[in-house]
Chains A and B, each alone.
Chain A
Amino acid sequence: AQSVSQHNHHVILSEAASLELGCNYSYGGTVNLFWYVQYPGQHLQLLLKYFSGDPLVKGIKGFEAEFIKSKFSFNLRKPSVQWSDTAEYFCAVKAGSYQLTFGKGTKLSVIP
């Protein structure tokens, strides 16, 4: 079975700091990759996705992620975080006929 690992449970940053959230998965074949975000009191929404092509994908609100196949990774980045980025971030992987598998999530707290 596939699995998804998110390296950090809780990340605390000051505004304007750079962000990188790690995500690794275990599956050797073709994958579709996602980052979802859950803002406080809101429903889960798609931040960005990778299916094929350019491994550097851009999402909403200035986020981007890079797929590195050799490392089985799909890390999320943002050059300068804002207080409004405070949320929980989930990495998810769709591999073959398996259902979408989520990581355990990373809580991001941005201090003004």
Chain B
Amino acid sequence: DGGITQSPKYLFRKEGQNVTLSCEQNLNHDAMYWYRQDPGQGLRLIYYSQIVNDFQKGDIAEGYSVSREKKESFPLTVTSAQKNPTAFYLCASSRGFASGRSNTGELFFGEGSRLTVL
């Protein structure tokens, strides 16, 4: 079955450590996204990528980094510069480009990764 796989599901990190969250999709979607979900704040966009080897900052990119070396993969690194990294992180994908007609905005989500900083 096609879908989005995020790993790990749960992750604990000590302050000052970088951590990388994995996101893989086999839906053949062009665009991929990382969101952060905090209670009462909805989903906030961290980074997105419309095509391989290209990505853009979202609303809350500070303290995060991404790469898009393959169409199927869009890993997110939470760096030590992120001041409040404890959160639930969601990866998503969609067809087409952000500004193109083929991108309706419909997203397909992974199951999420919960990061806790100790």
B109 within 8 A of A: yes
Q: Which residues in window 21-46 of B have CB below 8 A to A?
A: 33, 35, 40-45
Given contacts A43-B111, A44-B90, A97-B99, contact A103 B42 (CB under 8 A): yes
Of B33, B43, B44, B103, most buried by chain A (CB within 10 Å of CB) is B43
Which secondary structure characterizes the binding site on chain B? Answer: loop
A102 CA / B90 CA spacing, docked (Å): 13
Residue of A nearest to B44 (CB): A102
Given contacts A43-B112, A44-B109, A99-B48, contact A94 B42 (CB under 8 A): no
- State how many residues of chain B have any CB contact under 8 Å with chain A: 23
A102 CA / B48 CA spacing, docked (Å): 15
- State how many residues of chain A have any CB contact under 8 Å with chain B: 25
- On chain B, the residues within 8 Å of A32 by CB distance are 104-106
Instruction: Flag A38-68 by CB within 8 Å of B: 1 or 0 each.
Output: 0000111110010100000000000000000
| A interface residues, Cβ below 8 angstroms from B | 6, 9, 32, 34, 36, 42-46, 49, 51, 90, 92-94, 96-100, 102-105
| B interface residues, Cβ below 8 angstroms from A | 33, 35, 40-45, 48, 58, 90, 92, 98-99, 103-107, 109-112
